Structure formats: structure tokens, C-alpha cells
Structure 1
Amino acid sequence: MAQATGRGRVVGDYLVGGQIGSGSFSVVWHARHRVHGTQVAIKEIVMGRLNKKLQESLMSEVSILKRINHPNIIRLHDIIEMPGKIHLVLEYCKGGDLSMYITRNGSVHEATAKHFMQQLAAGLKVLRDNNLIHRDLKPQNLLLSTNDDNAVLKIADFGFARSLQPRGLAETMCGSPLYMAPEIMQLQKYDAKADLWSVGAILFQLVTGKTPFTGNNHLQLLQNIMKSTELHFPVESKNLSSDCKDLCQKLLRRNPGIP
């Protein structure tokens, strides 16, 4: 239950501090456990703002986080419900998200990118083992435990994730356009390989500081992807290793099932 105290708002056993971020339907707060002092992030969701589909997405996210415990997946500590609101008590990542990291550092050394990609791959393997696709992988949904280059990366925000049986196909439009596989943008059926396109876009941005494709809108972005015959790296990225470039090209291939 939430209540007001002289030192700040209390949600369950947690003393709420400053706001970390916000979205269309939620606000994320920094908080501490009143007894242990453990830092957490509390995602506060106003249920009245969610239509039936969004409520189902929220319940799906909760279900996924409840059953997966892995260092590269954000951990759900508790769920606190009160009239009209639900609070997800999540692991706190003081390093912010990967988009903030890229903004601060620009492009990163390949060794740092490899460190983050290995962790992202480990988290995605757990999702794959549970027949899950994330469908909204982007730097803003990859949280970092600390501010340094040795941070632990954690996949977060599973609102768009869904269960997909092996060899199954999905056909819902979701995700963030700059990191979205073209088959999703074209409203075609897609499978877990769609997440790999997003991984490629994230890797490309890490090592170059830029997204691989741009456009003023969904349509122009898709057209730029479809008419591209090869992946173009910025001039300032000329020192990238051939292995790194090759991996980007393989991940950002329009038809990953075709050699």
C-alpha cells in the first residue's frame, strides 16, 4: 500500500525518491527499502490509462519477469498493487541505459562493444530457451548496472515480448522503427530472427555512433532499407575490424534464412 510520510512517499516497504524516467503509461522512480536500504526502481503504472491490449502486454511482462532469473535480464523483486495502480519493483541499474551510454561516449571500442554484445546474446539465449521473442530491442531497453565499461547489461521492458513456439511465426507490428526488422515493418510474419536484426542495429550504433539506416518516417526508413544492397559504414569507422563489419552485415541481412 502507498502512503505519504514526512520524508517522502512510501510504496509497500520502499521509500520513493526521484523520478528516473517516464512513458505514456508509466513513471519510473528511484526508491530504497526502508529497512535494508536496497536501491530499486519502481515502475508505477496507472491501469486506467491502459486499454485491454496494453493490460495484456503488462500481464505478459510480469509473467516473463517472474519466471526468468538471469544476470542479463532485469530482475523483478516484487509487485505492489493498489487501487488503480500497479507497481513493479525492479532491479536498479545506476548506469542508466545504453542510449545514454552511447550519447556520453559516441562510438565505443570494439572490445567494449563485444563485452556488451556477449551479455546481450546471453540474455537473448535465455529468452530463446523459453520460446520468447522480445520484439522491442533498442538501446533504451538495455540497462547498465554501472557507468563504466565493465557494466553488466540487462535486457528490460518486456511489454512487447511474446511467447513463440519453435518455428512459429508472429505477425504483430511492434518495436522501434530504427531497430525494427524490415519483415515487421512490412507487416509480414516473422520469427525470433527478427530480434537479431535489432541486435545488428544496436551493434552498428555502438561501434559507429550512428544507426545503420535512417528516414523521416516509417515508409522512408523501410524504402532505404529495401533499396540498400550493402551496409555502408561511416568514413570515421574505417578502422573497424573485418570481423566486426562482417558480423554487422550478417545480422542486418534482410533474409537471414537465405545464405
Structure 2
Amino acid sequence: MGENFENSNFQEQSLGDYVLRSKLGESSLSTVWRAEHRTTGEVVALKQIPLAKLTRHLRNCLDCELTFLSSVNHPNIIRLLDFFEYEGSIILALEFCAGGNLASYIQHHGRVQECVAKRFMQQLGAGLKVLKQNHIVHRDLKPENILLSCSDCNPILKIADFGLSRILLPDESAETVCGSPLYMAPEILQFQRYDEKVDMWSVGAILFELLNGYPPFHGRSSVQLLQNIKASTSLPFCHLILPHLHPDCIDLCSRLLSINPDDRLSSEEFYQHNFLQL
């Protein structure tokens, strides 16, 4: 979600007390703007969600997002500053992250050093621990939804976009198919019931992409993607980097990307894994 400034014809518009400065991103459900508060000058990211686009399921997810973000103040989770309804849209005022998202970071830097991947995973783990404490399953963890606080060499990662999240209590499971296929756990691709471990698969896919510069599995369709996942006998690490990776790093990635959720690391096992210890 970097600064994609519109051309010079961008007309000054406002949403409530915020003046829009540029469009940061757009999806089928929402538009995100870089904006400034009219009186304080505070720079924020404004997420505009037209109410007409919200199904009952998506409205429930949005309510979950607002309830969770309103109650949390953690450095590795995007901060919700304000939210309000304006001309048929729900508007979320979120902290502005000048470093863009992890997808653009990887695109710009290519694969990262193992020490950087470790630091990023430690930060993701700290944020995920808060989700766990609140019984939140994100369901759409991917590089585009991990924001960077700044563009310097030591950014703070922040988990963002909880628009598909929901509360999932212990021993409960869900069945709604949602997420982004390249980071979606096999059990979702197979329309099976699932639990919080779907987020762990997504974290494994993000770790793999950080180390290699590309996601672990591909496919022209969800069906082909699932076939490729099932056909794999080992993770397709780049042969140039594999000899230089610490065994703990390879172990963490492999155990997060276990096809059978029963064999996959739980969130607690992820936090305690040797690779993430200082």
C-alpha cells in the first residue's frame, strides 16, 4: 500500500474531517486513501467501504474488525484511530505506514537475508499472539496485508486488513472459503472445515517468500494450485540459498507449510520455535 499518487488533476476531496491527498490502493470492496485531518494535519490512511457492497458475512467480518482494532494497541497491529459512517460508506481512519506493504518491499528488495526474515517473523509472531489472545483468525494474511511503519532499513511490521477476520473460539471451526489462493491453506482450498492453523500456513508462505523472493506454490487456478501443493515432496527452495539457511529456519518453514493441519505448527509452537529465539 505504497504512495500511488494520482496525477496532477486530482481534485481535493474530503471524507468527513479528512482531506484526501492520494489513492493508496483499491479492491473490489474498498478504497484506501492517504489523507490529512482538516484541523490537526495528522496524516492517516482512510479506508472507505461502501455499505452497499457488504453482504451479511462481510458486515459481520467488518464488525469483528472494528471491535478488535478498537480494543487493541500493539506495535505490530495496525492502529485504528477513528471510524464513522459517511454518505453510505463506513470510513476507517488508520495509522499511516510510510513503508508501504511487504509485497512491495519484496518486489523492491528481492529475497531478504535470513536475519531480516527472522526479525520480521518475530514481529509477526508478536502480533499474532494478540490475535490468539482475542480468539481472532485473520484468514487473509499475505504480504499485501502486512504494512511497514517506515521505508528505512529497520521497519516495524504491522498486521493489517482484518476485513475477513472472525472470532473462532477453541474447539470451534469455520467453513467459509476466503483469503488469497497463493497464501490459502489447503484445507480451505478443499472446502473443508478449518481452525486457526490456516493463519499458520499463511505465515509459512510469507516466510518462504521472504527467503526466496517468490511464493512456495503456484497454479493457474485454485484446483491446479491444490494439485501442485499435494504433489510436492519438498518445498521448492531456491538452490542458491538453501545451503546457507540455518536448519532451524528450514524446519520452521517446512512445519508451517505442512499440508495436514494436524502436523502443522500451532501458534504457540510457532512463537516458541528455535528459529525465533534471540
> In 2, Cα distance between the equivalents of 1:177 and 1:41?
26
> In 1, Cα distance between the equivalents of 2:191 and 2:261?
17
From 23, 27, 32, the counterpart of 1:28: 32
> In 1, Cα distance between the equivalents of 2:160 and 2:88?
24
> In 2, Cα distance between the equivalents of 1:251 and 1:221?
17
SS in 2 for 1:19: strand
Identify the range of structure 1 (61-70 vs 150-159) with the bigger mean alpha-carbon deviation: 61-70
- Give the structure 1 partner of residue 247 of structure 2: 242
How many matched pairs? 253
- Give the structure 2 partner of residue 113 of structure 1: 117
TM-score of the aligned structures, taking structure 2 as reference length? 0.87
SS in 2 for 1:77: strand
> In 1, Cα distance between the equivalents of 2:225 and 2:114?
27
> In 2, Cα distance between the equivalents of 1:217 and 1:54?
24
Counterpart AA for 1:153? L
> In 1, Cα distance between the equivalents of 2:62 and 2:53?
12
SS in 2 for 1:235: coil
SS in 2 for 1:43: strand
- Give the structure 1 partner of residue 206 of structure 2: 202
Maintained 8 Å contact 1:11/1:80:
no
CA RMSD in angstroms, aligned pairs only: 1.5
SS in 1 for 2:240: helix
- Give the structure 2 partner of residue 10 of structure 1: 14
Maintained 8 Å contact 1:112/1:149:
no
> In 1, Cα distance between the equivalents of 2:52 and 2:164?
19
Maintained 8 Å contact 2:83/2:90:
yes
Tell me by how many angstroms 1:78 deviates.
Answer: 0.6
Give ranges in structure 1 of 5+ residues lacking alignment.
Answer: 1-6
Tell me by how many angstroms 1:194 deviates.
Answer: 1.3
- Give the structure 1 partner of residue 235 of structure 2: 231
From 245, 250, 254, the counterpart of 2:259: 254
Counterpart AA for 1:255? N
Percentage identity across aligned positions?
53
- Give the structure 1 partner of residue 46 of structure 2: 42
- Give the structure 1 partner of residue 92 of structure 2: 88
Tell me by how many angstroms 1:256 deviates.
Answer: 4.1
Identify the range of structure 1 (123-132 vs 13-22) with the bigger mean alpha-carbon deviation: 13-22
Tell me by how many angstroms 1:8 deviates.
Answer: 2.5
Tell me by how many angstroms 1:135 deviates.
Answer: 0.7
Divergent runs of 4+, >3 A: none
SS in 2 for 1:18: strand
- Give the structure 1 partner of residue 69 of structure 2: 65
Deviations 1:205-254 (A, max 9, x none): 00100111111110011011112222221122232222211111111111
> In 1, Cα distance between the equivalents of 2:14 and 2:128?
35
- Give the structure 2 partner of residue 168 of structure 1: 172
Give ranges in structure 2 of 5+ residues lacking alignment.
Answer: 1-10, 265-278
> In 2, Cα distance between the equivalents of 1:45 and 1:233?
39
Maintained 8 Å contact 1:250/1:256:
no
> In 2, Cα distance between the equivalents of 1:135 and 1:229?
26
